[in-house]
Every structure is written in C-alpha cells, then in structure tokens.
Structure 1
Amino acid sequence: MSDIKFSKEEKERIVNKVKIYFDNELEQDIGGFEAEFLIDFFSKEIGS
C-alpha cells in the first residue's frame, strides 16, 4: 500500500481538528507544525 494523501484543504482541516482534540481532550497546546507531523506519521503508518 502507499501513503494516504490529502489535499492542501483537507490537511488544513485535519490539522485544526488535531489541535482542537489535543486542547480539549489532553489539555495540551500543539502548533500546526506538530499536528502536521502527527498526521504525516499516521498517514504513512495506516497506508503501509
């Protein structure tokens, strides 16, 4: 399998959702850069 690919708009929406999740559920502030790295990690792991 290959990596899961997202459009720029999809990735921006997912980044915002990840940031909100971390804030609400884990009481952790993460930046967009960190959220994007997390998304990239999961897309590679799930896609492989």
Structure 2
Amino acid sequence: MEKQIIGGIKSKVQSMINLVKLKEKGFQIAHKMQQKIYSIHNFFFF
C-alpha cells in the first residue's frame, strides 16, 4: 500500500516537472518568435 502511494506521488512530481519544462520550452520558442516578428516589423516599417 505504501509503495503505491509513494509511486503515485513520484509520478505526480515527475509529471509536474515535465509540465514546467514544457512551459519553459514554450516560453523560449514564443520569445524567439516575438524577436523574429519584431525584426521583420523593424525591417519593413523603420
């Protein structure tokens, strides 16, 4: 019984870590895209 509980907690923690990593990756990609959009915008309008 205890092993099941510990296993469940571990898997929950692991999935939370994965979620955070995914979010960080998403933010990095979004930031890069934003920079590209800004540079294109600057190229055409300034």
Q: TM-score, with normalisation over the residues of structure 2?
A: 0.43
Larger Cα Rg: Structure 1 or Structure 2? 2
Structure that is richer in helix per residue: 2
Q: Tell me: higher relative CO, structure 1 or 2? Use CA pairs within 8 A at least 6 residues apart.
A: 1
